[in-house]
Amino acid sequence: MSGMLKRSIVLSSPCSVSLRNNQLTIAVKGSDTPASVPVEDIAVVIIENQQVSVTMPALNAMLAQNVVVALCDAKGMPSGLFSSLDGNSLQGERYRTQLQASLPSKKAIWKQIVEAKIRNQSRMLSSRGLRGELLRPYYSNVKSGDADNREGIAAGVYWKELFGPGFVRGRFGDAPNSLLNYGYSILRAATARAIIAAGMLPTLGLHHKSRYNSFPLADDLMEPFRPVVDEIVARLVDLSVLELTREVKGELINVLYADVKVDDRRHPLSMALRILCNSVKDIMSGDSNRLSVPEFCVSS
């Protein structure tokens, strides 16, 4: 696994993107000097502006390097993803392993994901001087497959403690829901990229199984990382920042570079995603029974 930290690129102005010498050449409208970025240095490209054009060679080069390309709607919210179908040299073998994974192993993975998510929610609350201990009963003794829905019950407690009793978490709810939605979209794109790099299909979920969802495994595996987004949003709310401006989007994209702990070592979140996805693959193949889950770190 490469230790190199990849870049995220946001195309928020009208521009044209082409390929030259295996570098993305980005010519912004009104600028005389195009920018160039090696394709191999990029993790995610977010196309926000509706007047961005991308050549097919540029798009294919990005897919060949397992770059996830996120498309945004007219409101600037990520609405779709392009991702490689051939991100790992052992992909066929790992697809078969994933397809043949037993129900008990999937339930065991989901149990550990739920435990890690609620534990991280608790740590995040405590880091802000809030009552993280309220969540301790919910991450203790989670059943296989989270049969009694500890995740959902804990969420009700968590959001009220974080943003007050009047807050309702929802895709179309009041602020700061729009900030959370944007941050989660970035996290989802990075998770899909890590899944593909691990040689797995993001379309085969553990818990999320909607027929209309193209990336249910990404929705599963991003769960323990959500509190990192929540912490960034909470800090913005502290400053009375509730609008999804260009500067705020930049703050939220930085979630990919936030530190988290895995097995007592600090890693950028984007690398921790790779570690988690590879450990999921190991459990499915019978090589391990323990998930390498992330641990929330207090921001510096």
Alpha-carbon separation of residue 142 from 66, 99, 147, 151, 225 (angstroms): 35, 25, 8, 9, 18
Q: Cis before residue 224, ω within 30 degrees of 0?
A: no
Instruction: Please give the distance of CA 121 from its chain centroid, rounded to a whole number.
Output: 16
pLDDT, one tens digit per residue, over 232-280 is 999 999 999 999 999 999 999 999 999 999 999 999 999 999 999 999 9
The model's confidence at residue 171, banded by pLDDT at 50, 70 and 90, is: confident
Q: What is the pLDDT of residue 98?
A: 87
pLDDT, one tens digit per residue, over 75-115 is 888 888 887 766 555 567 778 888 889 899 999 999 999 99
- Within 10 A of 207 (CB to CB), how many other CB atoms are there? 18
- Check: CB of residue 58 under 8 Å from CB of residue 74: no
pLDDT at residue 42 is higher than 90: yes
156 or 6, which is more confident? 156
- Check: CB of residue 186 under 8 Å from CB of residue 255: yes
Q: What is the pLDDT of residue 268?
A: 94
pLDDT at residue 146 is higher than 70: yes
Q: What is the pLDDT of residue 202?
A: 87
- Check: CB of residue 224 under 8 Å from CB of residue 262: no
Q: What's the Rg (C-alpha) of the chain?
A: 19
Q: Given strand 68-72, what is the order of strands in its sheet?
A: 7-11, 42-47, 68-72, 78-82
Q: What is the pLDDT of residue 196?
A: 87
Q: What is the pLDDT of residue 1?
A: 38
pLDDT at residue 118 is higher than 90: yes
Percent of the chain with pLDDT over 70: 94
Q: Which of 194, 202, 186, 164 has its CA nearest to residue 267?
A: 194
- Check: CB of residue 218 under 8 Å from CB of residue 192: yes
DSSP structure class, residue 134: G
12 or 171, which is more confident? 12
What structural domains and CATH numbers belong to the chain?
Answer: 7-82 (3.100.10.20), 91-296 (1.20.120.920)
Average pLDDT over residues 174-179: 94
The SS3 of residue 182 is helix
The SS3 of residue 85 is coil
Q: What is the pLDDT of residue 299?
A: 65
DSSP structure class, residue 174: S
pLDDT at residue 44 is higher than 60: yes
pLDDT at residue 222 is higher than 50: yes
2 or 25, which is more confident? 25
In whole angstroms, give the CA distance from residue 57 to residue 21.
Answer: 11
The model's confidence at residue 285, banded by pLDDT at 50, 70 and 90, is: confident
Average pLDDT over residues 131-153: 95
